């Protein structure tokens, strides 16, 4: 169905941070399939793991034990503050699972069932997750929405008092709002919010679907903030492009789910978890995050240099390789001009260009990006 306005490029292959179209044109891809191919396109380790798994078993359902699930679950738990993992197939499903778990927790503790999210957030396209999404453009035409959601303003200190008064079951937020315009949480605000959630026994749910799996320079973005959420959702980067989602929780929260509470036929199947294990291992067992950190600092610096020369840039913001360039004009125009320069970037709302390189970019790739982006900005003047 006609659910996407597509750019006029037909992509047929990809390797690293390059993709090729059906005319054999080569593009520098700084979208990573929307923060998904964090190790670049077709990374060797993940490819080998998938090929090996194809020879063993593809699918058997969650009615049986799946060794890959245990392995990936352990990797996620050992490298985060969480104890238990539920596997699904997408970001929306991971958030859906988080919302259900929060509701069940509230139900069992006879507390408010309300969930607070923030304006400009994005949490998915299913009924519960589009309700959680604080943007009317996502919700229009789909009411009645799910009851029990309310929206406060992100990074707003008065919202903290409202949370204290409302005492909801849970607060759900992105550490860096992605689709809503690349807006990082204010560290003072988020720390205070986490403190309120702890003292008031409100579950803190972080949607790390876009920020997780190394995107911001740490394995998970909450690590930048010195907080310990109760629930975290993952998807995009977890399978390097193979569909997989996950919802992680602390054990006392996770214990609210029992056999029959929730499920998924495909969730965490042997192929998806093979991709997840290989992706996680490549990040954990190598120095990819520290080498990416250098490139991340460089990219921000280079973008700030471009800002000095191009008045069309109003602001450069973001965390690691989740960067937003706010434009005095239409961001989509930039994306279209970039395609002419064989460069792929994204938008995040009407005025923000979103730049999402894979963690594996080299200095040469970065130089090429700046050259091409500079040309695009010149055309905007």
What is the contact surface with ligand PLP in residues (CB under 6 A)?
A: 90-92, 95, 122-124, 174, 178-179, 207, 209-210, 235-236
HEC letters along 348-371: CCCCEEEECCCCCCCHHHHHHHHH
Task: Pick the closer one to ligand PLP by CB: 179 or 230.
Answer: 179
Closer to ligand PLP by CB, 209 or 299: give it: 209
Least Cα distance to 295 among 246, 348, 364 occurs for 364
User: Rounded to the nearest whole angstrom, what is the least distance from the CB of residue 177 to ligand PLP in the complex?
Assistant: 8
* Residue nearest ligand PLP, CB atom distance: 91
Indicate the DSSP class of residue 242.
Answer: B
- Minimum separation from the CB atom of position 15 to ligand PLP (A): 23
Which H or E run contains 68?
A: helix 67-78
Dist CA 211 CA 207 (whole Å): 8
Is the Cβ of residue 95 or residue 120 nearer to ligand PLP in the bound state?
Answer: 95
CA 189 to chain centre: 21
Judged by CB, which is closer to ligand PLP: 29, or 179?
179
Smallest separation, CB 327 to ligand PLP (Å):
21
Give whichever of 4 and 64 is closer to ligand PLP, judged by the CB atom.
4
Give one DSSP letter per residue of 146-169, joined into a string.
-SSEEEE-TT-HHHHHHHHHH--S
- In whole angstroms, the minimum distance from the beta carbon of 201 to ligand PLP comes to 25
Judged by beta carbon, residue 300 or residue 354, the one nearer ligand PLP is 354
On whether the CB atoms of residues 317 and 347 are closer than 8 A, the answer is no
Query: For 104, phi and psi rounded to 5 degrees?
Result: -65, -40
Cβ 237 to ligand PLP shortest distance, Å:
10
CA distances in angstroms from 56 to 7, 149, 212, 268, listed in the order given: 38, 44, 29, 16
Smallest separation, CB 213 to ligand PLP (Å): 12
Q: Is 154 exposed, middle or buried (0-12, 13-18, 19+ CB in 10 A)?
A: buried
Nearest-approach distance from CB 245 to ligand PLP, in angstroms: 6
**CA 309 to mean position of chain CA atoms:** 31
Q: Which is nearer to ligand PLP, 279 or 313 (CB)?
A: 279
């Amino acid at each position: 169905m006609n659910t996407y306005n597509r750019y006029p490029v037909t992509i047929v292959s990809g390797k690293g941070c390059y993709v090729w179209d059906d005319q054999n044109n080569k593009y520098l891809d700084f979208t990573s399939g929307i923060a998904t191919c964090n190790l670049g396109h077709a990374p060797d380790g993940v490819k080998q793991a998938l090929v090996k798994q194809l020879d063993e078993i593809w699918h058997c359902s969650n009615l049986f034990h799946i060794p890959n699930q245990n392995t990936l679950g352990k990797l996620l738990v050992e490298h985060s503050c969480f104890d238990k993992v539920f596997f699904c197939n997408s970001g929306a499903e991971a958030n859906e699972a988080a919302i259900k778990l929060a509701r069940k927790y509230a139900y069992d503790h006879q507390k408010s069932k309300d969930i607070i999210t923030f304006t400009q957030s994005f949490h998915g396209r299913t009924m519960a997750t589009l309700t959680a999404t604080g943007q009317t453009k996502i919700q229009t035409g789909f009411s009645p929405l799910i009851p029990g959601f309310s929206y406060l303003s992100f990074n707003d200190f008065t919202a903290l008092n409202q949370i204290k008064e409302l005492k909801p079951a849970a607060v759900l937020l992105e550490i860096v709002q992605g689709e809503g315009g690349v807006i990082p949480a204010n560290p003072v605000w988020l720390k205070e919010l986490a403190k309120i959630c702890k003292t008031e026994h409100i579950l803190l749910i972080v949607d790390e679907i876009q920020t997780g799996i190394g995107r911001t320079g740490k394995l998970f973005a909450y690590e930048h903030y010195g907080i310990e959420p109760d629930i975290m959702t993952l998807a995009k980067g977890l399978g390097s492009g193979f569909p997989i989602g996950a919802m992680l929780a602390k054990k006392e929260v996770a214990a609210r789910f029992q056999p029959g509470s929730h499920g998924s036929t495909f969730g965490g199947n042997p192929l998806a978890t093979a991709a997840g294990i290989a992706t996680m291992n490549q990040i954990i067992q190598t120095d990819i995050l520290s080498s990416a950190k250098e490139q991340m600092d460089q990219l921000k610096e280079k973008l700030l240099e471009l800002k000095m020369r191009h008045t069309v840039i109003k602001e450069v913001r973001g965390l690691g390789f989740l960067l937003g360039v706010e434009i005095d004009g239409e961001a989509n125009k930039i994306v279209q001009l970039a395609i002419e320069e064989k460069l792929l970037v994204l938008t995040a709302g009407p005025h923000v260009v979103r730049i999402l390189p894979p963690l594996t970019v080299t200095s040469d790739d970065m130089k090429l990006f700046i050259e091409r982006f500079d040309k695009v900005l010149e055309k905007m003047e």
